[in-house]
Homo-oligomer: A and B are copies of this chain.
Amino acid sequence: MAIRVSIVGASGYGGGELARLLAVHPEVQLVHLTAETKKDEEMSVLFPNLAGFVEGKTVEADATRLAADSDVVFLSLPSGVAMKLAPELLKEDAKVIDLSPDFRLKAPHLYDRWYKMAHASPEYLDEAVYGLPETHRVAIRTARLVANPGCYPAAAVIALAPLLQSGKVTRTGIIVDAKSGVSGAGRGLSMGTHFSEVNENVKAYNVTTHRHTPEIEQELSEVAGESITVTFTPHLIPMTRGILVTAYVPLAQKTSTADLMAVYREAYSSEPFVRIVTEGLPQTKATLGSNFCDVTVRVDERAGLAISIAAIDNLVKGASGCAIQNMNLMFGLPEETGLNVPGLYP
């Protein structure tokens, strides 16, 4: 029997990508697709790729109805909204996979500091499971509330976790330099996502202040078993999809690229969606439209530094694909169900 699934916030890119993937997921029945400002619009007009796959219009979100009709509700909302809606859904026994940042951080004060808002439901932060299967698979299986990772943290944690677990690197001086396509900024209009301003251009943004910083730190600290501080610099580049993370970590001992590659190969040997790149280097195009994260590592022997590089499609492994991977885990399905397709190249 199909899992009944609803999407709250179906008119944005995260919601549209959920609809694209769930429309052909063999174990899923799409129930409600809600939107706020774009309600009562045809999904196939909002997303012309979905014509013939997702028919019907977006509706207004109604927690009671959503919970009654759905086994699981995906929330694809701006920060601050899911923290109010998720508790209502959970109380009525729907499972929730939240793609917003609202349940990712364990310490409520981090929302004050980085999101400039008091958390509305801090009592759920402990229960929420951080939805990166590569580091929290067991807990995800039995979770009611999954906090799906941010796009940058998904790539950064997969890039860095084996290094930090290896004992071969220091835990200070970690730098995460990331390059993102523009779809990561969402479908909302802004001068920073206006075509003519972004095309043929590259710039850093939110230097030292990006909200994914504490999320990366929290997850790397858990992996490392001690408190980690990172410098995180995101950059906007002229493409639609894709994140490339280049991470730098000082070595704690002499080691080689071959040694570290072996560490990565072992760490991810059973992961269905992590591929170790051995010839060439990761590139976002190899993951386009797919749920894969391509990773590699190099040693800069002259500088005594490890460099790990990870590539994802920010809308898939960095958002909606990972969310569906989580759903599969929560409902006892094979983890790859509906996701096991290669990306587009070129």
Contacts and interface: CB of A to CB of B under 8 A. Distances in A.
A137 to B, nearest CB: 19
B240 A281 contact: no
A279 B42 contact: yes
A262 interface: no
A66 B188 CA distance: 37
B208 A233 contact: no
A345 B173 CA distance: 37
The size bracket of the interface on A is 35 or more
A237 B179 contact: yes
Given A189-B189, A281-B205, A199 B246 contact: no
B307 A208 contact: yes
B48 A240 contact: no
Contact of A283 (B20, B48, B53, B290): B48
A106 to B, nearest CB: 18
Nearest to A200: B239
Given A24-B341, A307-B233, A277 B196 contact: no
Interface stretch (A87-95, A142-150, A297-305): A297-305
A270 interface: no
Contacts of A194: 187, 189, 193-195
A252 interface: no
Contacts of A199: 182, 195, 199-200, 238-240, 346
A173 B283 contact: no
A326 interface: no
Nearest to A243: B202
Given A179-B202, A195-B182, A203-B282, A305 B45 contact: no
Contact of A346 (B231, B241, B248, B340): B241
A47 interface: yes
11 contacts: A20-B342, A24-B340, A48-B285, A51-B286, A199-B238, A200-B240, A200-B242, A202-B237, A204-B309, A231-B300, A241-B344
Interface of A: 13, 16, 20, 23-24, 42, 45, 47-53, 173, 175, 177, 179, 181-183, 187, 189-191, 193-205, 207-208, 229-231, 233, 235, 237-242, 244, 246, 248, 250, 275, 277, 279-290, 292, 294, 298-303, 305, 307, 309, 311, 340-346
Given A24-B341, A182-B196, A187-B191, 14 more contacts: A47-B345, A49-B287, A50-B345, A52-B292, A173-B305, A193-B194, A199-B200, A199-B346, A200-B240, A200-B288, A202-B283, A202-B311, A208-B300, A229-B302
